[in-house]
Amino acid sequence: MAMHADMPLGRASAGAPAAGAIGVPRRYLPALVITVSLFFLWGMANNLNDILIAQFRKAFTLSDFETSFVQQVFYLGYFLLAVPASVVMRRYGYKAAIVLGLLLYGTGALLFYPAASAGVYQLFLLGLFVIAAGLAFLETSANPLMGELGDPAGATRRLNWAQAANPLGALTGILVGRYFILSGIEHDEAALATMDAAARNAFYRAEVQAIAPPYVVIAIVVLLFALAAALVVFPANAATTDEDGREGRFLDVFRRPRLIAAVVAQFFYVGAQVGVWSYTIRYAQANVGLNERGGADALLLSLALFAAGRFLGSALMARLAPVRLLLIFAGVSIALIAVAALAGGWLGLIALVAASFFMSIQFPTIFALGIEGLGPLRRAGASLIVMAIIGGAGLTALMGLVSDLAGITNAMLVPVVSFAVVAAFAWWAGRRMETN
């Protein structure tokens, strides 16, 4: 997995290029900055979806299940493009995959302008699909790239530190959505019924058009990153053969039990995370009567705790095995989301928000444990784990359906089961590591 060992600033082994503080040669530092920035950019895109769900529900008068199409389409894009992204990365290298991913991301964001002008929900979904297609390239590239930038023994910690940029992007996404998309104007059915058709249509039109400007700005920023990525030097491709010169085949990944178990765990983890955050605003509205901006504040606090958990969790990995920390954090997540599902009210909302702290290290830790020791199969394994992100579509849709039938509070039972799967993976992987 390592291309060069971690070395402190200003020190290098004989004949090696000077390295930065985290063991990256100085000529690759611009590429490192761009790669870490990708974690920020896709965190922003992912969590803007949580705002869009609330906005689309109001602007297009959708049910909870219908709003789940946002996540269904988004994570379908991840699912369908993960393997093609791996093929591009394998054949043309990290740089090509990253530039292409950024171009798709920017193009998808630009599609929000004609979607808002036309006022058509399906066009917004198309834009989200194109954004997600780009993010599939970025995640398939950036996660294994961070693992290959230093000593394999520190890969899990290094990926967690890079992933710390992800919740910062998520926080930015929620802030952008709260202040530039959500108007704070909410009319119940009775109020809408008293409006004449022109006033009602003007309200809906204004809510739809508020979505486009932030996405156009995001598109410009992302396309500038694509230009920067095209101009800087990235590391050469990692070896795609083992020590005996044998080529790694995609089908060989299915013979790696820990990888397959990690794929299953990631499916349920992403489903739980996306579902919890997608419906936090709805939960706050239904359980404690907060308005949409108050619900967005609860989501913002969730993401702040998520960011804090990522930093603290990464630090704890210096003292505690990542797989053991994963088991602890998943176990606490089960307990907190169960309180949200069974208690409701302010206690339930507090528990729901607090759970984000313990969700923090789960994705990168599952990812790193899954691709550990894969050698030339690492990229294929990474793409398989990225495909597992489809859990964000399936389980969010299930939560929306449960919410429509039995209420948003009961829908939180779905992530309770999902975190139990993650805890089972951590326990099983820990036992295998102890016996090997």
Pick the more confident residue, 31 or 245: 31
What residues does 247 pair with on adjacent strands? 241
Looking at residue 14, its pLDDT comes to 36
Task: Confirm whether 71 is domain-assigned.
Answer: yes
Give dist(CA 142, CA 134) in Å, integer. 12
Please state the three-class secondary structure of the chain as a single string. Answer: CCCCCCCCCCCCCCCCCCECCCCCEHHHHHHHHHHHHHHHHHHHHHHHHHHHHHHHHHHCCCCHHHHCHHHHHHHHHHHHHHHHHHHHHHHHCHHHHHHHHHHHHHHHHHCHHHHHHHCCHHHHHHHHHHHHHHHHHHHHHHHHHHHCCCCHHHHHHHHHHHHCHHHHHHHHHHHHHHHHCCCCCCCCHHHHHHCCHHHHHHHHHHHHHCCHHHHHHHHHHHHHHHHHHHHCCCCCCCCCECCCCCECCHHHHHHCHHHHHHHHHHHHHHHHHHHHHHCHHHHHHHHHCCCHHHHHHHHHHHHHHHHHHHHHHHHHCCCCCHHHHHHHHHHHHHHHHHHHHHHCHHHHHHHHHHHHHHHCCHHHHHHHHHHCCCHHHHHHHHHHHHHHHHHHHHHHHHHHHHHHHHCHHHHCHHHHHHHHHHHHHHHHHHHHHHHC
Kindly tell me the sign of the dihedral angle through the C-alpha atoms of 279, 282, 288, 294. positive
pLDDT at 302: 95
Lowest model confidence (mean pLDDT) among 112-126, 194-208, 227-241, 305-319: 227-241
Q: Do 157 and 274 sit in the same domain of this protein?
A: no
**Mean pLDDT, rounded, for 224-240:** 82
Task: Report pLDDT for 245.
Answer: 44
Work out the mean pLDDT of the chain and round it to a whole number: 86
The residue that leads in pLDDT, 183 or 403, is 403
Residue 14 lies in a domain: no
Judge whether 242 lies within some domain.
no
Same domain, 174 and 115: yes
The percentage of the chain sitting over the pLDDT mark of 90, rounded to a whole number, equals 59
Same domain, 231 and 269: no
Tell me: do 76 and 177 sit in the same domain.
yes
Do 72 and 168 reside in the same domain of the chain?
yes
Same domain for 220 and 314? no
Q: What is the pLDDT confidence band of residue 184, given thresholds at 50, 70 and 90?
A: confident
Would you say 99 and 229 are in contact if contact means Cβ atoms under 8 Å apart? yes
Q: What is the pLDDT of residues 146-183, one digit of tens each?
A: 766 655 565 666 666 777 788 789 889 999 999 999 88
Q: Is the pLDDT at 89 greater than 90, yes or no?
A: no
Q: Is residue 4 part of a domain?
A: no
pLDDT at 2 exceeding the cut of 60: no
Indicate whether 360 belongs to any domain: yes
Residue 392 lies in domain: 252-435
Query: Which of 8-12, 39-43, 143-147, 381-385 has the lowest average pLDDT?
Result: 8-12
397-404 average pLDDT score: 96
Mean pLDDT of 393-403: 96
In a domain, 142, yes or no: yes
Q: Is the residue at 117 inside a domain?
A: yes
Among 200-214, 287-301, 326-340, top mean pLDDT goes to 326-340
Handedness of CA 422, 423, 424, 430 (dihedral sign): positive
387 CB-near residues (< 8 Å, 6+ apart): 78, 79, 82, 83, 263
Within 8 A by CB and 6+ apart from 157, the residues are: 314, 317, 318, 322
* Same-domain check for residues 294 and 406: yes
Please write the tens of the pLDDT for every residue from 103-127. Answer: 999 999 999 999 999 999 999 999 9
| Residues 355 and 385 both lie in one domain | yes
Say if CB 266 and CB 326 are below 8 A apart.
no
Report how many domains make up the chain. 2
Q: Answer yes or no: is 132 within a domain.
A: yes
pLDDT number for residue 160: 66
* 130 shares its domain with 232: yes
Cα 57 off chain centre by = 22
Please indicate, yes or no, whether residues 43 and 158 belong to a single structural domain of this protein. Answer: yes
User: What per-residue confidence (pLDDT) applies to 11?
Assistant: 34
Same domain? 229 vs 308: no
89 bridge partner residues: none
Same domain, 203 and 344: no
- In single-letter form, the type of residue at position 407 comes to G
Only one residue has tokens 């419906």, namely: 279
The CATH number for 291's domain is: 1.20.1250.20
Q: What is the pLDDT of residue 145?
A: 80
Residues 317-335: b if buried by 16+ CB within 10 A, e if exposed: beeeebbebbbbbbbbbbe
